[in-house]
Each structure stands twice: as C-alpha cells, then as structure tokens.
Structure 1
Amino acid sequence: MASPAQQLPPGWAAEWDATHQRYLFIETASGRTQWEPPATSPGAQMAQLPSGSPPPAIHHAKRRQYAAGQTQAYYGGGDGLAIESGYGAPPPQQQQLQPTAAPQQLFTPGLAAENQFAQQQQQGQGAPSFFGPPIQADYINAPSYGSQPPFQPQGQPQQVGQLADQFSQMGIQGGAMGQKPFQLYTTNLLTSPPEPRELARPPPEIRLPPNACISPSPFANSHPSYQRCTVNAIPTTHSLLNKSKLPLALVITPYRSVKEGDEQVPVVTDTVIARCRRCRTYINPYVTFIDGGNRWRCCMCGMSNELPQLFDWDPVRNQPGDRWARAELNHSVVEYVAPTEYMVRPPQPPVYVFLIDVSHAAVQSGMVATATRTILENLDRIPDEDQRTKVAIVAFDVSLYFFSMPPGSSESSMLVVSDTDDVFLPKPTDLCVNLAESRASLEALLGRINDMFKENHIIGSALGPALQAGFKLMAPIGGKIVVLSSSLPSIGAGSLKNREDPKILGTAKESGLLQAASPFYKTFAIECSRAQVSVDMFLFSAAYQDVATLACLPHYTSGQTYFYPAFNASRTEDAVKFAHEFGEVLAMPIMLEAVMRVRASKGLRMSSFHGNFFVRSTDLLAMPTVPQDQSYAIEVQIEETITAPFIVFQTAVLHTSCYGERRIRVITQALPTTSNLSEVFASADQVAIATLLANKAVEKSLTHKLEDARDALFQKLVEILTCYKGSMTAAGAGASAQLAISDNLKMLPVLVLGLLKNVGIRQSAQISPDLRAYAQALLTTMPSQLLMPYLYPNFYSLHNMPPECGTVGEQGVIMPPPLPLTSERLERHGLFLIEDGQTIFLWVGRDAVPQLVADVFNLPNYEALRGGKMSLPLLENPFSQRVNAVIQKTREMRRGPYYPHLYVVKEDGEPPLRLWALSCLIQDRADVLPSYQQFISQLKDKVNGAGGY
C-alpha cells in the first residue's frame, strides 16, 4: 500500500499519533496541524489507511520552534511512542501484532538479565499460551471504555468526515488528558491457580498523557529494576487511595549492578547541572521548555527557571551543542559529575578495615584461613583505580592485634592491645596503609595470619572494642568496616549473653529475641553513620551468635549482613560459598559518603522509610556507603488533591564514587494520575506491593509481635480483596461464590502466603532466633528480583525437561519450565530442582532409575546416594552437563553476591532435610500453615464476612 505521504498533496505530511491511534496532518511550510486530512486529498484513499500502520519515521511537531540541525539527533531513529507509553515501549510498527506475537515483546531493551530470565520462563513450555496476548496486544489494541470499534478492514472506503469522526473518538475517553486507560481484567482466584511465569512479566505499563515527555528515548522513564511504584496510575486524592486499600510506595535500588548487555548509566561530565530554584528538582525528560527554549518549567512545582547558558554548549568540540542529545533529557537514570559546591571536603578514598576474629573457634572452623586467602586473592579486585584505597587489618580474640605495614617493605609487625576497656591505637602511622604502597607487606601478612594464630586456644570475643579500634583508625576519613566473627561478643563494650530460650520460641515473647539486646550497637552505628563509616557483618558461629543484635550495625550504617551457620571450611561447599560471596563484596564498587532524598510532585510526601540507612532529617537518608543491589522501600502519602495529569518522583543520591569522583545519581519516574478506581487496580504492581509488605511485616514483628505481623499481612490482603469485590464486581457488598481480583494482582495472595511461610515471619517453635533474624535482614534489603524467588521459589522437573533446556540458546542457558509449588508434582522416579535464591535443593525420588543416578551423581544406584550439602560432579554425558548448566545459571542469573548451597534431598532421606526442602513448596499445607487452597478459602470467607463493612 502507498505510504501516507504519497497520498497527500504537496506541502503536507502525515504523523502517526500513537496515543489516539490516528494520523496528525501537518502543513510543512507553516507547521499548522489538523486531525482531518487535507481537503485536496482523496477521501477514499485516506480511509484505507489501517489504524495500526503508522509511517516508518516518527516526527514530532512540538519541537518545530528549534533549528533543524538542533532537532536532528532528537528525531533520528527515536522511538516516538515512548513519549506516551513510558519506558521501553515498542516501536510503532509492532502495534498491530496479534496475540501470538513473539515473546520478546514483553521485554525491555538493555536489561539483559531480566529479559533473558523472562524469555526462558516462557520458552520452557513452548508457545507462551499462559501469557495470552503480549502486553502490547492487551493494552494497545484492546478497545478502551466507550471507544468506537476499530477501523474497518482495508478496501471499505469511508467518507473523509466519517474518518475524522472516528479519529476524534478513538482513545479519548477513560484516561487523563487523552491517554489510553488501563484495561481491568478480573480473575477468580478460586479457579486460577498461581502461574509461576506471571512473576517474570514486567509491571503494568506506564501510560503517560501525550507530550508529557520531551524525549522520544525508550529510557526516559525509570526501569523497574531501579525504581518501581506499587501503583502505576496515581490516585488524585487520598480518599481514592484509601478506598482502594492499596499501599502507595516506591521500591528503589539506586545502585543496581550493571551486567553485560545492560544499558550503562550515562554520565554528565560537563558539571552543568540545571535544578529548579524552588524545589531543587534536577532537569529531566518531563520538564517543558518555554520562552523560546531559554527557560524551563519544573515538572514538580511549576516554577519557571533559567537554563544555564552552557547547557547548549559542547565542551569537547568547543562549539554549540545539541540539547536534545543531552543524557538528562533522554534518560531517567543519569549520573552527574558534581562541581565543588556539592563537596564539604575533597572526595574520600575507599577505606577497608578488616576485623578478623582469631579466637579458637574461628581458627578451628577454617574461617581465618579462608578469609585471609580470599582477601589475598581479591586484592586486585578491590576498587583502587586512582591508587588511593587504604586498608587496615585488626585481629581480635579477648585482645586486639594491630599490624603495622610500612610502605615499601615486605615486613610487618604485630602490636597487641590487651586493655579492651579503654581502646587506643598503639601507633599513629602504618596501621591503615595505602593498598598500592604497602602491597608487599600486606600480601606477606595475609599469608601468615592463620599460622600466627593456629595454636590459639583462647575462647572469647572482644568484638565491641575491636569495632571501636576500627572506628578510630578510619573516623577521620570514613569507609567500610568488614567484620568476620565466629562467636558471641563476650568481652568489653557490647558484650552479649546467650538469650536463646527454646521455651519462648513460637510464643508472644519470641519477638523480644529479634530486638537488639544491647544499646551499644545502635549507638555505635549512629556514631559510625555520622563519620561516614559503614559496617558489613560476616557471621560464622555454630552456636548462638545473636544475629538480631549484631545486624543493628549494618542496618543503621547501610551495610549488609551475611550469615554462615556452623561454617566449616573442611567442607569444600562451605569454603566455596563464603569465598565467592566475600570476594564479590570486596570487588563490589560502592558509593561512599552518600545521602539520598526522594522528591515528588506537589501534593505527595514521603511518609516512612524502610531499609538499611539512618534518617538524618525528615526525609534525608544518610548512607555511609551504598552497596550494589541493596533495596529500599519508601511509603508515600497523598496530602492534597492532585490536579496535574501526571506526577513525577525523583530520587537523588549524592555520593563519592569509589574511583574518587563526587557524583549525583538521579532517577526520575513519571506516572499518570487517575480519578478512576478501576485504573488504580489495573495499574497495581504486585511485585512492588509484596516487596513493601515484606518490609512492613519485619518492622511490625520488631515493634510489636510476630503474630501481629502475620495478622497485619492477612488483614491487608482481605482489605484489598474486599474493596475489589465491593467496587469492581457485580457482587458488591453481598456474599459471592467467587474471590475476585484484578488479573495483574493474581499472584499477590500466593506472594503473601510465601511471606507468611518465610523463615523470617512464619509461625513455628523450631526456628532459631539467629536464622529468623538473618531471614528478616534479607527480606528488608534484597531487591525485588532476588526477593520474589525468596518468597515464591522456583521448582523445576529435570528428568523430563524439554531437550533444549540446559543448553545454550540465543539468550544464554535455557531454563526448564517452572512448576507450581506443590508436592503433587513430585514423581517417585524423578529428579527435581527447588531454589529460593539462597539455597538449591536437588530432590531425588526413591524410584529413580540407576541410569539417572549414574548420569548425574556418578553412582551405581539410589541406595549408594547420600543426601546433604554437596557439589555436583560434571560428567561426560549430556544430561549431567545440562543439569549442571541449569544449576550454574540459577546461581548466576540474579543480582547480588549470593552463591546458594546445593543440597541433595532423597525422598526417604533425613527428615529435617526433607522438611526443609518441602517447606519451599508453599502451596502445600505445612505444620499449622495452610495450603494455598485453604488460604484462598480463608480469604474468601473473610471477604464475604467483611462484605457488610
């Protein structure tokens, strides 16, 4: 068919308007636009233009006030649809795809890890039948409320006037300012069992009004791996939000790791930073230019601001630049190199102080040898590009052992401080040394530490004094204290007593064991935060170690806790796991001396904060270091009616990079507003909601009781379902045989059930306080990508997986199709894999044939197989290689340093191990905890009972 341009008279051009699904006709000489085709155009020809066939080139009339040269980069090859559709929208030619479209449309360019995982989850069962129509088909081609039927097929001419009427009626109704409304699809939870692949889908699309964004870039709105909101259409009033019972919150991972194939965060190096004079918002793709482009209007507060003269200057070529090519107008996530006014002092160097427990238990477990060897092997990976990084090592048992490492020498000397009541530094210099200058002495020392203490029979731990010593070493600069401890602190400040009492486990008093036993650690942590010092805890004890108290240090200093219960390096698996995770932490680039603030459009306020940091003022979060892939949840309150068609959230993190530059990372997210309750539900992001609920449940368990946390989770789910039934279904307030929820929230009940069954929250008298406290630390720090499998594990059948699974495809290793989490899927002759991101279980059925056991374990039969922690051999047969590839992929596909242990579980093996593996199958009944069907029935009874309220 001829293109629109060929059908128009000279001097006219046609532009496709994706939001309204129609053409905009432009007179090229004057820039005049009109919806109706020019009168001289043959009406019959124009009527044949199909609604889904936009022209290949997208033009944007709004930019016509600028010179043609300036706009070239702005137009060139850009994805114009992104203006309306938000991050990662498909190019226009994809809009007419049928429901059988290729699965990759579900994915966003530049996010390789997430895209690959989502694609493999679909490919596992051949055609993506469960997914039905791709997201674009659901949301772009679906008719809007009250809209006219789509265009007639080609070959049925219409009058020009009829065509114009149809143009004017399409897509106008429903959304604010003309954007297409969300389609609400209702699901009956009683007849729709959980589908694991649902969690691999992107959140509901962000549908901004036309011209909300000045950039056609697909990266103009934040990707959910950086920042996501619990609802992608913001209610205009607090009462509407309250009516929906959905929480309003942001889930932020500002320093997300960037893997191969991911879009890099662009860096603005010219130190030209345009900010609003009133609200201090950074310029972004959602501002508007006024006064011929010399001023810009803030998208948050509406203030008119002058544009810095150098904004349109290219300092590299020393000539006028193209503003439309600037990163801050095209990317939602940018990083600025900060000028001097953003510095209180010159950028600090990275400083690492290692506090190594060398008591008898630590040496005997092999922790000291493994830790020192790992540091030695990873010295080249520690961030030190500008050779300013400093390192100190302090060993401790009931005394403190400092090591002096003179630069330029391979010798070191040990200085012992046995007075733990009044800690002092035994030497003013050479204790905290430059990594590059003292490399030889540091390497020699790391090779000798284990030998120095291998005959150490001292039992006891002066952890508190060691922390004070580490703080004194680095307080003038700041940095990271890395603690490796194998026993309960027993000497000096911060000494603790064993308060583990089996009699109170599972009772109302249990939450007391999850609170800090000593005020020393919180007080010390706040002092550290003030001095820009963060603390990472690596805990190894076989006995009670009071993780709940020690985790206070990372919690308030934005560090992280790692726990290796009953660590023994003589088990290769223990040594490999710790060495891998510790090595990744050492190599991790970190943000130093950071502060984070989230700004929002008028009418919105940040009300409460969850995560590892210290709230310095009402909304300023102090983070001495920001590790990669640590997540934070921030609740938002609607304080006044929002009249704008869309709102903007902006997260700014001022920090020093570990490479010696002061920088500002800015993450901008724009979301449409709505006064329609159905759109609020249709835009809800179940993954973000579950992440927030995990944080709130942990907080509630500490401030109240574990039982209160569980009740609050269940009650929140009942409230949401009750509201949906009352407002969105025909049943209204009466009893209903169904349990209805919007399609995009249908995994929320099973995620809440997974949270109720998680070690951090679940009702049990068998969970040790240390394990529970560590699980709670994970629940409040892991990004959503890691948290989802922790709440809803992955379950694969390996013995009969499709032949392509475990082989390398275009997107890497192809994973098997995930199964529902129920033991009904276990087969007595089968081999299954269950994993939650922290542990991998390989379940072997009791009737497994000898050939399968031989191919995977290199053993003659099932009887010869021993259950427990192990490393799987890589054998010379295709099945072994495929199983190993799936396990390896499982360990690598997510962000974060975690390296899950592998446990082989025999169907008739050790009961504790079997129960642990089966506890991951959260759709089954376990102990006092209901099955998924029972849980849904409880919800239905409660919702019907609450129907009159």
Structure 2
Amino acid sequence: MASPAEQLPAGWAAEDNQHQRYLFIETATGVTQWELPASKDGPNIQNASPVAEPSVHHGKRRQYAAGQTQAYYGGGEAASDLAYPGPGLQPQAVTGAQLFTPGLVGENQFATQQTQPPPGQSGYYNQAESEYINAPTFGQPPPSYGQAPVDALTGQFGQMGVVGQKQFHLYTTNLLTSPPEPRDLQRPPPEIRLPPNSCISPSPLANAHASYQRCTLNAIPTTSSLLSKAKIPLALVITPYRSLKEGDEAVPVVTDTVIARCRRCRTYINPYVQFLEGGNRWRCCMCNMTNEVPQLFDWDQVRNQPGDRWSRAELNHSVVEFIAPTEYMVRPPQPAVYIFLIDVSNSAVQSGMVATATRTILENLNRIPDEDERTKVAIICFDVSLYFFSLPVGSTDSNMLVVSDIDDVFLPKPTDLLVNLAESRASLETLLGRINDMFQENSIIGSALGPALQAGFKLMSPIGGKIVVLSSTLPSVGPGALKNREDPKILGTAKESGLLQAAVPFYKTFAIDCSRAQVSVDMFLFSAAYQDVATLACLPHYTSGQTYYYPAFNAGRTEDAIKFAHEFGEVLAMPIMLEAVMRVRASRGLRMSSFHGNFFVRSTDLLAMPAVPQDQSYAIEIQIEEQINTPFVVMQTAVLHTTCYGERRIRVITLALPTTTILSEVFASADQVAIATLLANKAVERSLTHKLEDSREYVFQKLVDILIAYKTSMTSGGAGASAQLAISENLKMLPVLVLGLLKNVGIRQSAQIPPDIRAYSQALLTSLPSQILIPYIYPTFYALHNMPPEAGTIGENGVILPPALPLTSERLERHGLFLIEDGQTVFLWVGRDAVPQLVQDVFDLPSYDVLRGGKTTLRPLSNPFSERVNAVIQKIREMRRGVYYPHLYIVKEDGEPPLRLWALSALIQDRADVLPSYQQFISSLKDKVITT
C-alpha cells in the first residue's frame, strides 16, 4: 500500500500539533486510516502506519449475520465491526477513530463532532478535542454570487494538521448590496447531512421531506447556550396530512399490524434505529433503550413465509402509516359524519348562498368519502328558529320539523335526522333541491347560530365527525349571540387588538366540548356586513377545523359562485382524519415547549384534533433542556387517527438532523422558510395576547437579533460599525419575508383594515402550510407581455411559468401586462399605454379605454397569447396544495384607486402609506444592528 504522503495531493504536509491524530484518505476502493506518530515536531506523515484495510461497499445486503446487524450496508465482517454503533456509544473495533463506509446514506452525510470524515474528503480526528476538524460546508454557493468566506473562521484552519485542507465556507451576503431574488425561495432548504451509517436504509425517502416536516435549523446546536448565541428560533413546521399531487409518492401502509415501539419512550421503529444481537433486538435512536424485535417482524403474512426485513416500509420511509391493532382503539372506528348547518335568514337567501351551497352539496354527494357506505349526514337550517329534516330510508320525501325554543335546544325526533348517506340518498337529493325554494320568501333577519351548533352537537356527539357551518349573518339570538363591535375610531389604535379576540366565551367553551366529543367545526362565512370572524373562528381553531371567508358574497356574480362552489366542493371531497391525537417525540435533551395551530392541547404535549383536514400546518417550538451528546437527533411525529373509510391508523413522520458545536454551522443550516412560518404564527399569537404593535415589534426585533448575532460572531467587523449588513446566504430572503409579514393585512399597521378581514388573514397565517403561506406574505409577480416563448406552454412538469420578478413597481411598464398573486387573489395589471392588439388578444376588446377593472372571469380566446395567459392563470390556481381558488381582478393603471392600491400593496418592496420600502427597511435594520 502506498504511504499517505504518496496518496495526498501535492503540497500537503502536517503542521505542529501535540495531539495524536489520525489521517483518513478515501480512495476508489474505500477509506484508509493512518496513525500519525506524534513527536516534538508534530505528526510525521512519512512514518504513518495503516490502522485498517480499506472498507469496500458492495451494494447488496440480504442475510442477518451477527456482524451485519449494526447498520444496513454491504461490507464484510471488517466493515460491520467498525460500523457506527449509534448515539452515545463508543466505536466497537477502533479506538479514537472509525472507518467511514462510503455509499450508505446517499447524499445525506454530514460528519459533525464525529470520528468519520465526510465522503470524498480526507481529514484529521483530534482525539483531545473530540472533533473532526474540517467539517464540510452546507451546500455550494450559487455561481452568480461572490460572497467571501466568513472571516471569523479563518483562524480555525491555521491550527489544522494539514496545510491547504479545504476550508469550511459559510457564505455571507451583504443585504445592502444584494436585493431580494424571488428564485431563492424556490430552492430546497439547506441539505441535511447526517453522519455516515446513521441510517440503516439506503432509501432516499428515509428522512422526512420538507413538505411533511421541516425544522428551522438543519443542524441542531448541542447546547441551549449555542442556540441562544445564534438567536435563531428552534421549531418544527409540520403538515402531517399533506395532499398528494400527481406524481407524488404515496404514503406506504404497513398492513400486518406488527408495530415495533420503544418500551421506554414509545418511539416507533424507523430508519435511524440500530439492530443488535443478530437482529433479535433493536436500540432506540432517541433514548438508547434496547428492545426486542417483534416475532412477526420478519414474516410475510400475505405469502405466509419469511419476509425480507430490509424491505419493510418503516425501515425505508420517513413517512409511513400503520394499520392499528385493537389496543389502539377505545371504540370501533367511527364512520365519517357530516352535519350541515345552513343559514336561511333573509340575507343568506337573497345573496344566493343557500342556493349555491345546496346545489354544491347535491353535485358533490358522490365525492363525499363513503367507500364503506357508513357515512352519515344531516341537514339543519336556521334563522331565529331551527329547522330539522327527517329523511326516512327508502323514500324520496322529507319532513321538516321546526324548533323555535332556542334557549333549551332539543332534538324533535330520535331517528331519521342523522341518516346513512347511501340508504337515504334519494330523499337527501330531493331535499337539497327544495331547500332554497322553501325559504325563498323568508324575511327573517336574525341568526340563532349558537343554538344550531348545540343541536348539531347533540345529534353528532355520540359518534363525532364534522359540523359544516354556512352563515351569512352575525349571530343575534340565543347562546352565542354577538353584537356589532366594529368601531372605525379604534382601528389603528392600541385597542384594535381587542377586536381580534373572542367577544364572548361561548365559542371557546363550546369548542372544548366539541373536542372532547371528537367533533370538528368548519366555518364558511359570507356576510356583507360585520360578522365577527375573530369570535367565530375560535370554533375551527380549537377543533382542528378551518375558516373560509367570502366577504360580500353575491352568487349573482359568477366569479363569487364559482369560487365558493369550487372550494366547498373540494372540502366535501377531501379525505379527512377523524378522532385524531398527535404527539411529537424527540431525542433526549429536546422538549416540545409550545404549540401553534388549530387544535386543543389535551395534556402537556398531546394535541387533540377531532378531524384533521388536508394541508393544515402546525408549528411547534423546541427547547434544548440539556446538553446533547449524540451526533444526530431524531424528531418523530405520530398521529393516531381513524380514516374516513373506517380504518384506525397511525401516521408516523420521522426527521433526523445532525448536531453541531459550531456556530457557523447553525447559521449555515437555517431554513428561512420554516423561520418565516414560525414567525407568522408567533406574530398572530402576540397580537392576541398583547397588541398589534407588540406583534410587529416582536417580529422586527427577532430579525434584528439574528443579524446582530451573525455580525458579532461571524464577521470580522464584530461588534463595531460596518459598511455592510451581513447575513448568511441561506438567510438572505428572511428580511424580505419579515417585511412581507409586517405588511400582511393580518398584522399590518393601518386604520383602514376591517376587523373581519384582519381576523381571517390571521386564521390563514396560523394554518397555511409553508408552500401556500410564503406566497401569501411574499406574493409572486410576473411580466406577461414579454414572457419567454416557452412560458404558458406545456413542459415536463406541466405549464411553464414566466420568471418571477422582484416585488417592486419599478418593474411595471406602461405598455405592459403583469400578473401579481398571493395564493388567495390574482391581479392582472394593465398599463395605460397597452397596445390595442394586446387588449384585443387577451380581453377581446378594441382598446384599453373600454376595458373595465374589477373581479372578472378571463375567457380563453382563439389566439396563442390568450391561450398562454390563461394557461399561466390556470396553473397558478392549481399548483399549490389546498382548496383555495383565487379570484381574478383586472386592475387598470389609472383605474379605481382602491383596487389599484390593493394590487400595489402586494408589491411589498415599495413604500406604502406609513410602511417602509425594502431599502428603507434594510436601512432601519442596519441602524438597529449598529446601535444595539
């Protein structure tokens, strides 16, 4: 074997160091390990002696020999003897150093505080300091940026045992000279680089995808003091029941009811555990407890023969569902139950809401989940009285039963009110076709929403399910009655936050009763006048439902009817998790400290969710309680639920992240999208517990703290004044995301925002998954008049979108056609000098002057440009997860001022009213950073 000096690149040598060191060199056949004899002149590379032969990776593993149960890899006995043994354990065969076995974990390899070098690199292990010196970088810098490496780290490499060794680069951006680039938000989060052999599966799906579970940091500090130095919040953003788009990998289901869990911490077996004693036992990756492998774990119950352990889904997939055995049930799985509470007061009927709602239910009866034909439905209408409908089986008739005593609600009949959807289909269809006509002449103005909710609860509580409320009126009589508290004089003042809190306790206490009985509530609100969205949204908030708001709904406008019918239809067709509870477990030293989202916290860390809709997101903050001594940590979310098809299941989502003792790695691993998602939740919470101004100040100060921490620790300027405002490359979009959050109507400083609009925005900020939330606070901006030829045509991944522009009106051109969208609304901005041919091609009108602004439906015309523009709009409406169908508004450059200002407010890099431009915002940040 050639000596290490011959294997090293030219010019490499060893510097003085009194500590014994080991040198690792990766070659085509494996990794060699050399011991460098120490002397007064330092390690002598010429006299190094090999410690072990190269380990060779053969791609296939099938048998469970004793030496192969440490990890899933193909090496022989030598490789297994030297395998990474798991968190907190010593290497088995080599003292002070270990071999790295290449090719095991794909690209997810990151040696932090480990004895193994990263793949493709050589380096020294410092025994005395217990650290591997030359840790790899988090990703490569974009080719178009020329940021310098962090000055504060340069001294570290002068003490290394190798001259010319590749340095750890943390790429710094100067925010003063680096404007926001929208494409940066499309990049994946910083790569998760786990230590070699930390995963027993070579599957690329062994770690959670960011769309299911992402962390604000992809390298976890080992101590709380290191975390506090970075000032970056540590939190998980979880979307456990993410919808699947075409081409998405389905969640694998383990059907044999063999569920291996840790006896001590109850963690589910996953790709980061470790097998011992010939595969008969496994060591938990969170608490190190040794557990027996279940007897049937290696048995294929379908073929009734021995099975391949390494093909089991739970050892290869980070997201998996188990069919739960009976011990996971306190009762048989419930059927899906839907009770529709329909407001039939005068305003509800006149707006067309009742006709649209009943027609949508009728058209979507086949889409309501009912594969097992156990689904039950009921319809209760209400104004100041309650109207029940008896739907006898085998008949097309229905009987209406009126209850006018709303102070003590009772069910007028013990049967036929909550009926089986399949059995009573005929009478249900007839009823849905007649309801609007029944109440067409209704002149009653009030609303007994509270009593209607109580009636629905009485009907549903023995089973559980979902109450769907459709209301056009402020509740005015009976329990839960509300008063109009909208007061323009207090908008924009310190008292405004009071309008965002529940006006009466009824809806919160009722929500807790619902949660206990496994009842979830969805709110569809339509009023043209004040409806107190803040109070009514309490019900969905605490019962894991969702609020949908259609201000000034009028079905006479086609666009209003289409939007509501589309969204309501998608909600009806959505498969939902029923009677669910969620718990997040983490490695020792980590604790879930606070929870944000739509649920009720039943105990310290158990979240009760009676019915979990798809694409609802939750944020959970994490505390580091004690020093973490493991090279990586694991966070596992488990959701025990009943499917709407009558199966009890456990969805398990596992995320493994490396640990680090180096502050630069903390910054380099930060996920700006996850941080912005958490800050949105925290901002809303603070606006309710304090004031809106406190909410804005909190978000701004968190950003300032991160910038100060970065400047102090990571730049040569340190605590002094500097000509730059520095941040790591992977966080360069965080300031503009914070600015977008500060300008969002949920917390924006303004005296013009109606409290209902603000409350609805806050409901979105705390429930939308990151994929929809980020455009909601940082909209997307396209130029359509000069988009590339391929934009609007079909590519490999569907319709190709134009390149996104920075959100500034400087990009608007008088002759142009632009599109601005935030996931909830789409604006088509038409410049006043738009050529007649453009107006003709897109709007089928002769000139700009005859074009009218406002809410519209854009008709496809038989010309290529119209087809491309419509394709872009259609793609925008379909590309994100969730049920939302954005309205389309035409905005003329010299059109109606309110509509113009609304569209321009989406260009968050501009100054608007008292709100700063991006440049002003960055300048104020710099002033704060310098003076603090």
Q: Distance in 1 between matches of 2:856 and 2:889?
A: 6
Q: Distance in 2 between matches of 1:369 and 1:131?
A: 54
Q: Distance in 1 between matches of 2:711 and 2:586?
A: 31
Corresponding residue of 2:203: 217
Corresponding residue of 1:644: 630
1:756 maps to 2:756: no
Q: Distance in 2 between matches of 1:654 and 1:74?
A: 38
Letter in 1 for 2:365: L
Unmatched segments (≥5 aa) in structure 1: 1-18, 27-32, 38-53, 89-94, 97-128, 150-164, 175-180
Contact 2:172–2:729 (CA<8 Å) still a contact in 1?
yes
Q: Distance in 1 between matches of 2:429 and 2:536?
A: 30
Corresponding residue of 2:531: 545
> What does residue range 224-263 of structure 1 map to in structure 2 within 5 Å?
224-263=210-249
> What does residue range 472-871 of structure 1 map to in structure 2 within 5 Å?
472-871=458-857
Q: Distance in 1 between matches of 2:894 and 2:224?
A: 55
Q: Distance in 2 between matches of 1:64 and 1:401?
A: 70
**Displacement after TM superposition at 1:85 (Å):** 3.4
Corresponding residue of 2:868: 882
> What does residue range 218-367 of structure 1 map to in structure 2 within 5 Å?
218-367=204-353
Contact 1:73–1:324 (CA<8 Å) still a contact in 2?
no
Q: Distance in 1 between matches of 2:24 and 2:247?
A: 34
**Displacement after TM superposition at 1:83 (Å):** 1.6
Letter in 1 for 2:143: G
Identical counterparts, % of pairs: 79
SS of the residue aligned with 2:248?
A: coil
SS of the residue aligned with 1:763?
A: coil
Contact 2:595–2:620 (CA<8 Å) still a contact in 1?
yes
Q: Distance in 1 between matches of 2:800 and 2:474?
A: 44
SS of the residue aligned with 1:640?
A: coil
Letter in 2 for 1:641: Q
Contact 2:24–2:33 (CA<8 Å) still a contact in 1?
no
Residues 808-862 of structure 1: CA distance to partner in whole angstroms, max 9, x if unpaired? 0111100000000000000000000000000000000000000000000000000
1:22 maps to 2:8: no
1:370 maps to 2:356: yes
Corresponding residue of 1:132: 143
* 1:85 maps to which of 107, 112, 116: 107
1:581 to 1:509, Cα distance in 2 relative to 1, 3 A? same
Contact 2:574–2:614 (CA<8 Å) still a contact in 1?
yes
Q: Distance in 1 between matches of 2:60 and 2:196?
A: 14
Contact 1:594–1:653 (CA<8 Å) still a contact in 2?
yes
**Displacement after TM superposition at 1:317 (Å):** 1.1
TM-score of the superposition, structure 2-length normalised? Answer: 0.86
**Displacement after TM superposition at 1:360 (Å):** 0.3
1:932 maps to 2:918: yes
**Displacement after TM superposition at 1:169 (Å):** 11
Q: Distance in 2 between matches of 1:756 and 1:169?
A: 46
Q: Distance in 2 between matches of 1:320 and 1:633?
A: 42
**Displacement after TM superposition at 1:507 (Å):** 0.1
Residues 33-64 of structure 1: CA distance to partner in whole angstroms, max 9, x if unpaired? 85589xxxxxxxxxxxxxxxx99974679976
1:55 to 1:873, Cα distance in 2 relative to 1, 3 A? farther
**Displacement after TM superposition at 1:473 (Å):** 0.6
SS of the residue aligned with 2:367?
A: coil
Number of aligned positions between the proteins: 836
SS of the residue aligned with 1:375?
A: helix
Corresponding residue of 1:50: none
Q: Distance in 2 between matches of 1:503 and 1:86?
A: 56
Contact 2:239–2:615 (CA<8 Å) still a contact in 1?
yes
SS of the residue aligned with 2:611?
A: strand
Letter in 1 for 2:26: R
Q: Distance in 1 between matches of 2:329 and 2:497?
A: 42
Contact 1:829–1:845 (CA<8 Å) still a contact in 2?
yes
1:931 to 1:63, Cα distance in 2 relative to 1, 3 A? farther
Residues 508-534 of structure 1: CA distance to partner in whole angstroms, max 9, x if unpaired? 000000000010000000000000000
Corresponding residue of 1:118: none
TM-score of the superposition, structure 1-length normalised? Answer: 0.85
SS of the residue aligned with 1:85?
A: coil
1:210 to 1:886, Cα distance in 2 relative to 1, 3 A? same
Letter in 1 for 2:273: V
Q: Distance in 1 between matches of 2:666 and 2:911?
A: 33
> What does residue range 1-40 of structure 1 map to in structure 2 within 5 Å?
22-23=26-27, 25=29, 34-35=32-33
SS of the residue aligned with 2:105?
A: helix
Contact 1:25–1:34 (CA<8 Å) still a contact in 2?
no
Corresponding residue of 1:469: 455
> What does residue range 39-188 of structure 1 map to in structure 2 within 5 Å?
58=59, 65=66, 81=103, 83=105, 85-86=107-108, 131-132=142-143, 146=157, 183-188=169-174
Letter in 2 for 1:464: G
Letter in 1 for 2:761: A
1:899 to 1:82, Cα distance in 2 relative to 1, 3 A? farther
Corresponding residue of 1:12: none
Q: Distance in 1 between matches of 2:188 and 2:365?
A: 39
Q: Distance in 1 between matches of 2:603 and 2:455?
A: 28
Letter in 2 for 1:22: E
Letter in 1 for 2:694: D
Contact 1:71–1:322 (CA<8 Å) still a contact in 2?
no
Q: Distance in 2 between matches of 1:871 and 1:144?
A: 62
Corresponding residue of 1:45: none
Letter in 2 for 1:380: N
Corresponding residue of 1:433: 419
Contact 2:57–2:102 (CA<8 Å) still a contact in 1?
no
Letter in 1 for 2:773: L
Q: Distance in 2 between matches of 1:794 and 1:823?
A: 13
**Displacement after TM superposition at 1:22 (Å):** 2.1
**Displacement after TM superposition at 1:144 (Å):** 14
Q: Distance in 1 between matches of 2:537 and 2:109?
A: 37
> What does residue range 401-480 of structure 1 map to in structure 2 within 5 Å?
401-480=387-466
1:253 to 1:147, Cα distance in 2 relative to 1, 3 A? farther
Corresponding residue of 1:122: none
Contact 1:74–1:215 (CA<8 Å) still a contact in 2?
no
Unmatched segments (≥5 aa) in structure 2: 1-22, 36-54, 77-100, 111-118, 121-139
Q: Distance in 2 between matches of 1:584 and 1:74?
A: 51
**Displacement after TM superposition at 1:72 (Å):** 10
Corresponding residue of 2:47: none
**Displacement after TM superposition at 1:368 (Å):** 0.2
SS of the residue aligned with 2:766?
A: helix
Aligned-CA RMSD value: 2.9
Contact 1:148–1:170 (CA<8 Å) still a contact in 2?
no
SS of the residue aligned with 1:902?
A: strand
